[in-house]
Amino acid sequence: MRRLLLQSVASLLVLSLLTGIVYPLIVTAVANLCCTRAAGGSLIWRAAAGDAAAGAVAHGETLIGSALLAQPFDQPQYFWPRPSATSPQPYDGRASGGSNLGPTNPAQLAAVQQRVAQLQAADPGNALPIPVDLVTASGSGLDPDISPAAAEYQLARVARTRGMTPEQVRNHIAAHTRLRQWGIFGEPRVNVLELNLALDADR
């Protein structure tokens, strides 16, 4: 009995050491070597005037956010992200989650109608169909990307407000569009924060 007890305790200690300390340290080390930016949270920095280019770690830099987390944009000169249903406030990185409302729920229908009205009010002359990702929240409420169609829908408003040509804005969209992972996984997507920062820099 005592022998079995000692073996059980020894197994617990060894497994705890391997899975609780050794394995996490190895995974962290490999991630930092192979994917340094992603392992660090894909942070986006803006360098102060006279420092290194934006995105680099430099003296006087300002942390803007993460390429993995959506931020609220509602001014007409910016591309807007997907709606967020996080609580207690939208785009709350501490409370990732969706509304869990089904497509036939009256509250979901009312939320979609309100978002459609907001988009139409911001660009009354836009006759393009509104992409679904601009009026429905993602499961996390923090999706940093929109579809190329959602970016195209907003292009005219952004270009007009900024005094840019549609082609100039479209070039920025193309530069910040990511294709399917390895050509097969996911869908093409546009990172909203990175796109808006690039537009701000192009002045």
pLDDT in tens, 68-105: 888 999 999 999 999 998 888 898 888 888 888 888 89
Task: Indicate if 182 and 128 belong to the same structural domain.
Answer: yes
- pLDDT bin (cut points 50, 70, 90) of residue 43 is confident
- pLDDT bin (cut points 50, 70, 90) of residue 147 is very high
Task: Indicate if 78 and 174 belong to the same structural domain.
Answer: yes
For residue 117, the model assigns a pLDDT of 95
Task: Indicate if 115 and 155 belong to the same structural domain.
Answer: yes
pTM: 0.74
Residue 189 within any structural domain of the chain: yes
Range of the domain at 189: 68-201
Those residues with Cβ within 8 angstroms of residue 23's Cβ, 6 or more apart along the chain or in another chain: none
Task: Indicate if 83 and 32 belong to the same structural domain.
Answer: no
Q: Residue 121 is encoded by which pair of tokens? A: 């009010």
For residue 29, the model assigns a pLDDT of 81
Q: Among residues 155, 110, 108, 107, which one has the least CA distance to residue 131?
A: 155
Task: Indicate if 80 and 151 belong to the same structural domain.
Answer: yes
**Residues 198 and 175: beta-carbon distance below 8 Å:** yes
- pLDDT bin (cut points 50, 70, 90) of residue 62 is confident
Residue at 66: amino acid letter: S
Task: Indicate if 82 and 166 belong to the same structural domain.
Answer: yes
Percent of the chain with pLDDT over 90: 50
Cβ-in-10-Å burial (0-12, 13-18, 19+) of 195 comes to buried
- In the predicted structure, residue 195 carries a pLDDT above the cut 70: yes
For residue 49, the model assigns a pLDDT of 52
Q: Rounded distance, CA 52 to CA 90, Å?
A: 33
Residue 182 within any structural domain of the chain: yes
